[in-house]
C-alpha cells in the first residue's frame, strides 16, 4: 500500500479502514455470499447504486445530450460470427500457465513479470542498492520472492528489456521466456502457456453459439447503416451505449477492479478519415490543458507528466487528431463534474505493443488510487477496422456514400472487351475472360496497351478457363487512356471511441 | 388483428403502419441485422432509449425513493447451485415437441391449444354458429387449421376443459393429450414432449457452471441478511433492482413481447407472515378502485372485469393481504404517471395451476394491446419459499430474530436426561440417546411420562445404537410439565414481489 495517498482532507489513506467501512455500509457486497461468493462478482448496495445512477445520468447529459449522440441499448448476447469477425474469438485471450502440482492457473505474463521483478530486486539488495517501493498495480498482488542474488550485468539488462515489453509477447514467446529463464511458480515448474478466451460462451436456443459481449461497441457498429440514414446521411455523428459487458477472468483478484461483469458507457464517433479527423467544436476547447504522459516519454523509461494545451498537443502530433483531442478534454470535464480530484487524473498514451488489436492510437484517463494509477476511461482511435471487417464478412453497406461537391476527374487506363464479338467467340469462357480484363491493374493495362499496339494482340492469363490463358486481338479489346468522372465518394468511417468503465470510476 | 383497437385520438389501429413507422424512426432494430439478425434479440434506438431512461427514472422515484427501498445492482451471472436451490434448474422449463419431418421445435402446450381451438372453431362452423374472433395472444401467431367437422358433445366439453387448464399440464400429461387426441403439426406426427430449460448456461472461469439470471430476485434474496442489518433489524422493508434478465426461448416470436433479453425492475418486500401481512400505508390508498378479474370469475369461464376499491377487495378476501393490495394500487398509480390509458389496464389474478413454482398468489397488471391483454407487471406473493430453500441449503440466517415485547410463556413437556449418571453408564452411546430424548415430540413425552410414573422406567427406540433401544430408569430421566419463556421470535419473512417488464410497458 502506498503511504503517500491522502484523503480529501489530507489524512493518510488506510485501505483496510475504507474496505471495512464500505462493507458495513453495504456499498458493495460479494455476490451470492451465502453460497461462498464468486470471485470477480459483486453486488452494489443502495449507496453505490444511487451514486452509479447519478454518474450515468450525468454521463448521458454531458455526452449523449450535449453532443446529440444516438443512444442505443443493444443485446448483450452476441452471436459467435459477429465476434469471430471482430477478432475477439481469436485475440481476446489470456495466456495461462498451469501449475500441475497445485492446479493453479496463472497468467503467463504476470508470472514472468513477478519472477523477473523479484530477481531484479534481489539483485539490487545484493548490490546494496535501495529497493524502490513500486506502485503496486492491481494485477500483482501475490509477489514472487527471490533470493538476494547478484545478477550478471548483461542478464540484468535482458530482464529489464523483457519487463519493458511484457505486454507485447504472445503465448509462444512467453513460453520460451519461461523455459529460458527457468521461471517457476514458487518451486514448481509450470506447463507451457495455453490460450484462454475471455468471453463467456453460451447457446442461443436453436440459433447457435453466442457470447456475452466483451464490449458494447460491436452491436453499435452493426447499426451504423440505420444510424447514418437516421442522421440524413450526414457525417460526422456518434452513437453511445450504456450497459453491462463481460470478461471471463480465469482467476480474478483485486476487489472491484478486475471484475467479470461491469457497467460500461461507450461512445462511437464516426469520422471521415480524410482531412485529419477534425472536430467541429475543437476550437472551443483547444486551450484546455491536460496532464499527459505520451508514448515517447514511456519508451524512454520515464513517467514524467506534462501539462499541455490540447491545441498544441494536436498541432505537435502528440495527440493524433482533433476528434481524439476533443474527447480527451470532454473526459476531463466529465471527471471534474462528478467530483474527481483533477490532481489525481492523467492521460497516458498506450505503447504500440500494448494496444488492442483494433486500435490505431489509444489514450487512457488514469486515476491515482491506492493501487497506483488505474485506467478508468479509454479513448481509442479504432480506425476503420471494425466496420471494414463486418462489411467484408456480411456485405452490409457499413460505409458513407456522399455526393462530391466537385466531381472527381480520374484519368486512367480503361480496358474494354467488345462483348458482341467476344461472346460468340468464347462462349462459356466469356465471363471469366471479362472478369480477368476488369481485374487488370492500371500498371498492367498500361503495359498491355503497348503490347497491343506493337503486336496487334495480347495474351491474358485466365486461370479459370481450361486453356489457362487467352489471346485477344485488337478487334476484341480496346485499351486506352480516358477520363472517368466520379460524382460519389465512398468511404468507411473511422471510429473514435471513448469507453468508460463506471465501476472503476466509482471505485 | 383486432379491429376494435383505436389510437389515442380514436382512429382505428393499424399494426403494419405502426411497425413500419417504428422501424423507419429506429425505435427498435433487430440485433446484428447484417448477420441476419437473431430471433428474440432487439436493439433499442435513440427514441426508445430515451423513453426507457425516463420510465426507469420515474420508477426509481415512484417506488425506490418514495418507499425508501434499498436498491441493489446484482450480478447477472448466477452460479448453478443458487438456481438449483431456487427450483429454476428443475422447473423453469418449456415442454417442446419436435416435428421430425420439418425439424421444427414446438411448445407442447401451444400445439395442443392451437389444434383443439381450431377443432372447436370447426365444430362451430359445422353447427352453423358464429365463430368469435378471439383475442389473439402473442404466442399463437401460427393458427392451426381444421376441417369444419361437428364434434360429439362430450368431446367438445372435454376439449373445452383441456383448454381451460392448458397452463397446468406437465410434460407427461401433454404427451398423453397429444396421443389421445391425435394432435399433429399440420399432417405430421410429433415426438413426445421433451423438457427444455429456459436459462442460458455458461461457465465462470475456473469457478464452475453458471446461468444468466432468469430474474433479479434470487441475488436480492441472498443479500437479505446484510439488508436487514443495514435496516437496523427492523421489518418490514424492501429491496429493489433494475437490470437485464434472460430467457432462452427456443423459438421466439412476436416482436418485442417474447424476447430473450429484457430489462426488469423487481421489488422484493419482506413482510412478517403473522398478522395478515399488513402494510403501514394501506390506509392512504384503501379507497382507490382497480379493474379486477379474479380467479373465481375466470374459473367460471368468464372475463368480466369489476371495479373494486382495494380496501373492500382485501376485506372480502379477493386480494389476499394489504401489502399485495397496496402494491397493486401503487402499480396503477405508476402506470398513470407514465401515461398509460387507465381504461386499457386491468388486474388479473393467476389461476391456481398457472402460478410459478414459488408463488402463493399472483396478480398481473395487463395492458390491452393489439395482441390482446398482455401482462406487463406481475405482483406475486412468493411466501417464504425462496428464503427458506436458500437458508436450508446454505445455513445462512435468512430470517428475522426479534425480541418479543411480551416474552412468550410456553407450557410444555420437558424431558431431561441426567448427564452425570447417563454419561458413565452409556459411554459412547450417550450422545445418540440424548439426541433421541431431545427429538421426542410433545405427544410422546406426555405418553412416556405416564409410563415412567407407572413402571419406573421407559423404553426408548434409538436406531443409532447397536442395541436399537434403551431402557431408562427414573433415576436417569425426568419428564415433567414446565413453563419455558421465549424472549426471541424467529421467522422467515414472506416476500411480496412486484415485477416490471420495462420492455413490455414500452411496447
Residues A490-505 have pLDDT tens digits of 999 999 999 999 888 7
pLDDT above 60 for A486:
yes
**Which 204-243 residues of chain A touch chain B by CB within 8 A?**
204-207, 210, 212, 219, 222-223, 225-227, 230, 243
Please name the residue that has the C-alpha cell 447484417: B34
Average pLDDT over residues A26-54: 88
CATH for A15-88+198-389+493-506 is: 3.30.930.10
* pLDDT above 80 for A328: yes
So what's the pLDDT on residue A11? 59
Is the CB of residue A202 less than 8 Å from the CB of residue A210?
yes
CB contact under 8 A, A202 and B206: no
d(CA B481, CA B413): 4
The domain B93-197 is placed in CATH, from the list 3.20.20.70, 3.30.40.230, 1.10.3470.10, 3.40.640.10, at: 3.30.40.230
The candidate with the shortest Cα–Cα distance to B433, out of B443, B423, B445, is: B423
User: Given CB atoms, is A79 within the 8 Å cutoff of chain B?
Assistant: yes
- Interface predicted TM-score (ipTM): 0.80
* Chain B residues near residue A210 by CB distance under 8 angstroms: 38
Question: What number is the average pLDDT over the span A387-407?
Answer: 91
The H or E element that residue B197 is part of is: strand B194-197
Across the interface, whether the CB atoms of A206 and B250 are under 8 A apart is answered yes
Tens of pLDDT, residue by residue over A267-325, are: 999 999 988 899 999 999 999 999 999 988 888 878 889 999 999 999 999 999 999 99
The secondary structure of B155-192, three-state, reads HHHHHHHHHHCHHHCCHHHHHHHHHHCCCCECCECCCC
User: Looking at the predicted structure, is the pLDDT value of residue A207 above 90?
Assistant: no
Q: What confidence score (pLDDT) does residue B467 get?
A: 84
More confident residue, B430 or B69: B69
Between A9-18, A400-409, B289-298, B468-477, the lowest mean confidence (pLDDT) is in: A9-18
Q: What is the pLDDT of residue A127?
A: 81
Contact flag B45-A261 (C-beta cutoff 8 Å): no
Q: Cell digits for B259?
A: 424476447
Q: What is the pLDDT of residue B131?
A: 64
Output A465-471 pairs: Cβ under 8 A, ≥24 positions apart.
A465/A429, A465/A432, A465/A433, A466/A429, A467/A429, A470/A426, A470/A429, A470/A433
Contacts with B155 (C-beta within 8 Å, 6 or more apart), sequence order: none
User: Which pLDDT score, from 0 to 100, does residue A144 have?
Assistant: 60
Does A230 contact B25 at a Cβ distance shorter than 8 Å?
A: yes
* Range(s) of chain B covered by CATH 3.30.40.230: 93-197
Asked if residue A220 lies in contact with residue B26, where contact means CB atoms within 8 angstroms, the answer is no
Q: Which residues of A touch B225 (CB under 8 A)?
A: 34
Q: To the nearest whole angstrom, how far is the Cα of A160 from the nearest Cα of chain B? A: 32
Is 50 exceeded by the pLDDT of residue B186?
A: yes
| pLDDT score of B88 more than 90 | yes
Give the separation between CA B52 and CA B401, rounded to whole angstroms. Answer: 40
Rounded mean pLDDT of chain A? 86
**A245-259, B89-103, B195-209, B390-404: the lowest-pLDDT one:** A245-259
Window from A49-63, A387-401, A432-446, B10-24 with minimum mean pLDDT: B10-24
Residue A120 and residue A130 in contact, taking contact as beta carbons nearer than 8 Å:
no
What mean pLDDT do residues B103-127 have?
A: 88
Given a cut of 60, is residue B139 above it in pLDDT? Answer: no
C-alpha separations of B36 from A207, A360, B84 in Å: 11, 29, 35
In the stretch 104-163 of chain B, residues with CB closer than 8 A to chain A read 105
- Three-state secondary-structure class, residue A288: coil
| pLDDT recorded at residue B207 | 74
pLDDT at A5: 53
How far does the CA of residue B139 sit from the closest CA of chain A (Å)?
17
The reply to whether residue A79 touches residue B38, judged by beta carbons under 8 angstroms, is yes
Percent pLDDT > 70 in chain B is 91
Rounded Cα distance between A191 and A394, Å, is 40
Q: pLDDT tens-digit profile of B471-506?
A: 888 888 888 888 888 888 899 999 999 999 988 877
Return d(Cα A134, Cα B318) in angstroms, integer: 68
Whether residue B167 is predicted with pLDDT greater than 80 in this model: the reply is: no
Q: What is the mean pLDDT of chain B?
A: 87
Asked if CATH classification 1.10.10.10 holds for the domain at B69-88+199-389+493-506, the reply, yes or no, is no
Q: Report the gap between the CA of B42 and the closest CA in chain A (Å).
A: 6
With a cut of 80, say whether residue B245 has pLDDT above it.
yes
pLDDT at A121 over 90: no
Nearest CA to A224 among A104, A24, A386?
A386
User: Which of A48-52, A86-90, A503-507, B493-497 is predicted least confidently?
Assistant: A503-507
Least confident of A4-18, A105-119, A233-247: A4-18
Task: Reply yes or no on whether the pLDDT at A337 is more than 50.
Answer: yes
pLDDT digits (tens, 9 = 90+) for A160-178: 888 877 777 888 999 999 9
Which ranges in B238-309 belong to alpha helices (H)? 282-285, 295-299
Q: Check pLDDT > 80 for residue A251.
A: no
**Whose CA is closest to A247, among B434, B391, B205?**
B205
Residues 6+ apart with CB under 8 A from A496: A268, A269, A271, A277, A321, A323, A324, A327, A379, A380, A381, A382
CATH 3.30.930.10 location in chain B: 69-88+199-389+493-506
How confident is residue A349, by pLDDT bands cut at 50, 70 and 90?
A: very high
Task: Tell me the per-residue pLDDT of A125-161, one tens digit each, with 9 for 90 and over.
Answer: 888 776 655 444 444 444 566 667 788 888 888 898 8
Scanning B354-383 for CB atoms below 8 A from A yields none
Q: Which three cell numbers stand for residue B365?
A: 397488471
Of B506, B497, B49, which is closest to residue B240 (Cα–Cα)?
A: B497
Q: Is A457 helix (H, G, I), strand (E, B) or coil?
A: strand
pLDDT of A152:
85
3-state secondary structure A206-247: CCEEEEECCCCHHHHHHCHHHHHHHCCCCCCEEEEEEEEEEC
Write out residues 256-275 of B within 8 Å (CB-CB) of A: 260-261, 263
Tell whether the model's pLDDT for residue B424 goes beyond 60. Answer: yes
Amino acid at each position: 500500500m502506498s503511504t503517500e495517498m491522502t484523503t480529501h482532507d489530507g489524512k493518510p489513506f488506510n485501505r483496510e479502514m475504507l474496505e471495512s467501512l464500505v462493507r458495513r455500509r453495504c456499498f458493495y457486497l460479494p455476490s451470492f455470499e451465502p453460497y461462498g461468493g464468486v470471485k470477480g462478482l459483486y453486488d452494489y448496495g443502495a449507496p453505490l447504486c444511487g451514486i452509479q445512477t447519478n454518474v450515468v445520468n450525468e454521463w448521458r447529459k454531458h455526452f449523449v445530450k450535449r453532443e446529440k449522440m444516438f443512444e442505443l441499448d443493444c443485446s448483450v448476447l452476441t452471436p459467435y460470427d459477429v465476434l469471430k469477425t471482430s477478432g475477439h474469438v481469436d485475440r481476446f485471450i489470456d495466456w495461462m500457465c498451469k501449475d500441475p502440482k497445485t492446479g493453479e492457473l496463472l497468467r503467463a505474463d504476470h508470472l514472468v513479470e513477478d519472477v523477473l521483478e523479484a530477481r531484479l530486486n534481489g539483485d539490487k539488495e545484493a548490490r546494496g542498492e535501495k529497493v524502490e517501493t513500486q506502485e503496486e498495480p492491481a494485477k500483482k498482488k501475490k509477489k514472487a520472492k527471490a533470493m538476494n542474488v547478484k545478477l550478471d550485468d548483461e542478464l540484468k539488462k535482458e530482464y529489464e528489456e523483457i519487463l519493458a515489453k511484457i505486454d507485447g509477447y504472445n503465448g509462444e514467446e512467453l513460453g520460451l521466456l519461461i523455459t529460458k529463464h527457468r521461471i517457476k511458480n514458487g518451486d514448481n515448474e509450470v506447463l507451457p502457456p495455453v490460450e484462454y478466451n475471455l468471453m463467456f460462451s453460451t447457446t442461443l436456443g436453436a440459433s447457435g453459439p453466442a457470447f456475452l459481449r466483451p464490449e458494447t461497441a460491436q452491436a453499435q457498429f452493426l447499426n451504423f447503416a440505420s444510424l447514418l440514414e437516421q442522421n440524413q446521411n450526414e457525417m460526422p455523428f456518434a452513437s453511445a451505449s450504456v450497459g453491462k459487458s463481460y470478461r471471463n477472468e480465469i482467476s480474478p483478484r483485486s476487489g472491484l477492479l478486475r471484475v467479470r461483469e461491469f457497467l460500461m458507457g461507450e461512445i462511437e464517433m464516426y469520422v471521415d478519415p480524410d482531412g485529419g479527423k477534425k472536430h467541429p467544436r475543437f476550437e472551443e476547447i483547444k486551450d484546455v490543458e491536460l496532464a499527459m504522459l505520451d508514448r515517447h516519454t514511456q519508451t524512454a523509461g520515464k513517467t514524467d507528466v506534462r501539462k499541455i494545451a490540447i491545441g498544441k498537443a494536436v498541432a505537435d502530433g502528440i495527440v493524433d487528431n482533433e476528434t481524439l483531442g476533443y474527447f480527451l478534454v470532454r473526459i476531463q470535464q466529465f471527471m471534474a463534474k462528478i467530483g474527481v480530484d483533477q490532481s489525481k487524473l492523467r492521460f497516458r498514451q498506450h505503447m504500440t505493443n500494448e494496444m488492442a488489436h483494433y486500435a490505431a492510437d489509444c489514450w487512457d484517463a488514469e486515476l491515482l488510487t491506492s493501487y497506483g494509477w488505474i485506467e478508468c476511461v479509454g479513448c481509442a482511435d479504432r480506425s476503420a477496422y471494425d466496420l471494414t471487417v463486418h462489411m467484408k464478412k456480411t456485405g452490409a453497406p457499413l460505409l458513407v456514400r456522399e455526393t462530391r461537391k466537385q466531381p472527381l476527374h480520374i484519368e486512367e487506363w480503361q480496358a474494354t472487351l467488345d462483348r458482341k464479338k467476344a461472346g460468340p467467340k468464347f462462349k462459356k469462357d466469356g465471363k471469366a475472360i471479362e472478369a480477368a480484363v476488369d481485374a487488370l491493374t492500371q500498371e498492367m493495362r498500361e503495359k498491355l496497351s503497348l503490347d497491343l499496339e506493337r503486336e496487334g494482340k495480347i495474351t491474358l492469363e485466365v486461370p479459370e478457363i481450361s486453356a489457362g490463358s487467352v489471346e485477344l486481338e485488337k478487334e476484341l479489346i480496346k485499351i486506352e487512356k480516358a477520363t472517368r468522372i466520379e460524382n460519389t465518394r465512398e468511404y468507411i468511417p473511422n471510429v473514435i471511441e471513448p469507453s468508460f468503465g463506471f465501476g472503476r470510476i466509482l471505485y
